[in-house]
Amino acid sequence: MMLRPRVAVTSLLVALPAALAVAYAIDRTRAHDMEVALDRVVRSQLNAQVKERCVSDPTWFLTGPLIGRPPNGVFIDPNPDALAPRPRPSPQPFELFAYDEEFLASSGAAPRFPQDFRRAMRASPDAAFAPHVTAEGSGVQMAIPTGWKGTPCAYFVGRMAPQPHQSRDRMLFAFGLLALCFIVALGATAPTVWRVRRLAAEERESASSGFGSIAPDTKKDELSSLTFTYNDAVQELQLRATRIDDLDKALRRFVETTREEVAGSLASLESMLGELATAQRADPDAIRASFLKAHDLHASVENLAAASRLRGAGVIATAALDLSALVGRVVAAHRPLAHAREVSIEAVLPQPPIRIEADQALVERAVANVIDNAIRYNRPGGTVRVTCTRDEGGGFRLVVADTGSGVGEEAFRVLTAVRRFRGDEHRNRRPGAPGLGLAVAQEVADRCGMKLELKRPATGGFEVEFSGAASQS
């Protein structure tokens, strides 16, 4: 159901009981006013003159709407509960009937004394009221003791007829009151409906224009809070859209780079392996070159995958990992590379092992990149030393040092100056510029709460140091 019909139905459901309650209250007020008016009229008849007239001729006294004296046959009517035939049988606005102490009327035109009034007069000699229902509607009647004991006028019953066309007027009044309550209820909801429609229109416009924020509602209620909730949701959508866009760009970059970098390396490796397959005998230099090419290809694919993940991910999920075991695996995996490049590699790992909170795959890639660079840019016969130690503050230090020729002042300045990760550093071919491997290591350190420092020892070579907080468990 749309908003307008729903509001109309709700307003009608609210207006109906409200109109019934108001109509009932007004009807009871009118009935009370009639009782008060009837009580005044009846009590005004309690005087000596009325008593004398009633006692002197009870069959004629106040017998109803008579124009002339009824015939004698009226007084022997066997059914005194019905009005005797009269020249004008319709009830008059006010009627008064007299009864003796046995609640019997001397006039045949008087109705029977109501049973409810009899019980009321016997229980408490005071005025009693009851509805007086006729074809025209509902009037009021009352019984009251006159105090004239021993006379045919010990009790009076007064009747006040309903107003003409009472049923029609009540129906018209009820419908008018219902319409008024409906209009009031509908008018009370109109501002809220307008605000809801305005908010919906602004949200549709925001959605069609790329989910921009909408102006906050000036009211201070639950509906106005929807604008703030919507704006919060818009910010979350924009953040997710940015992440999706980053993931899309990372995926496109990964695909493009895979073709440029990996396909070329694979073709070169295929050529080398083909030459080995057709050679009369194995050439150690060719085998070594094929191995190095395969290693470079593997490292390139791993770095591209890590870069894509770092470029598109939000918060990196971390878990407890054994840093000592991780470093040991990376060193063991790089021993063949060190041997192929005529470099020795040493590892000093602490006992008990050091544990940290980080992403295992990313940290392993970062450490592998640093060790790979230390081997790659070392000199034949050089050494790569990997040392993992605890510091006094409860943290750790992982140092990868090589005995190569090191880097010049300008190259070192370039390496330490670039801190923003783009994920496309492999495309940068400037001499001395940092490659993707070092960029991935730097980004992993930043995202996993570690610090990466590049150093130029006075004794020569090059050092890369990871440091951070160690887990207490």
DSSP, residue by residue, 192-233: HHHHHHHHHHHHHHHHHTTS---PPPSS-SHHHHHHHHHHHH
**pLDDT digits 0-9 by tens, 149-162:** 888 888 888 888 77
Quick check: 218 pLDDT over 90?
Answer: no
* Residue 402: band (very low, low, confident or very high) from pLDDT cuts 50, 70, 90: very high
The amino acid present at 268, given as its one-letter code, is: S
Looking up tokens 């074809």 gives 135
Calculate the alpha carbon distances from 436 to 283, 295, 368 in Å: 32, 15, 13
Q: Examine domains 45-164 and 315-469 and report if their fold is the same.
A: no
Quick check: 204 pLDDT over 90?
Answer: no
Quick check: 335 pLDDT over 80?
Answer: yes
Q: Which CATH number fits domain 45-164: 3.30.457, 1.10.3470, 1.20.1070, 3.30.450?
A: 3.30.450
* Residue 215: band (very low, low, confident or very high) from pLDDT cuts 50, 70, 90: low
Dig out the tokens for 192 from the structure: 């809220």
Alpha-helical regions (H) of 313-405: 323-340, 360-376
**Residues 353-377: what's their mean pLDDT?**
92
Q: Are 406 and 461 in contact (CB under 8 A)?
A: yes
pLDDT value at residue 24: 74
Between residues 337 and 20, the one the model is more confident about: 337
pLDDT value at residue 454: 92
Averaged pLDDT of the chain: 76
User: Of 294, 281, 400, 292, whose CA–CA distance to 342 is shortest?
Assistant: 292
Side by side, the strands of the sheet bearing 451-455 are: 344-348, 383-390, 395-402, 462-469, 451-455
DSSP label at residue 258? I
Query: What CATH class does 315-469 carry?
Result: alpha beta
pLDDT value at residue 235: 76
Quick check: 333 pLDDT over 70?
Answer: yes
The amino acid present at 50, given as its one-letter code, is: V
**pLDDT digits 0-9 by tens, 62-113:** 544 444 445 555 545 554 444 444 445 555 677 888 888 888 887 766 778 8
pLDDT value at residue 270: 59
**Residues 165-173: what's their mean pLDDT?**
66
Dig out the tokens for 288 from the structure: 């070594």
Dig out the tokens for 140 from the structure: 């009021």
Between residues 45 and 261, the one the model is more confident about: 45
Q: Which residues of 327-344 are buried (b: 16+ CB within 10 A; e: fewer)?
A: bbebbeebeebbeebebe
pLDDT value at residue 437: 87
**Domain range summary for the chain, segments of one domain joined by +:** 45-164, 213-297, 315-469
pLDDT value at residue 97: 86
Dig out the tokens for 26 from the structure: 């007004």
**Residues 32-54: what's their mean pLDDT?**
85
Q: Which residues of 96-116 are buried (b: 16+ CB within 10 A; e: fewer)?
A: bbbbbeebebbbbbbbebbee
Percent of the chain having pLDDT more than 90?
16
Confidence (pTM): 0.50
Quick check: 338 pLDDT over 50?
Answer: yes
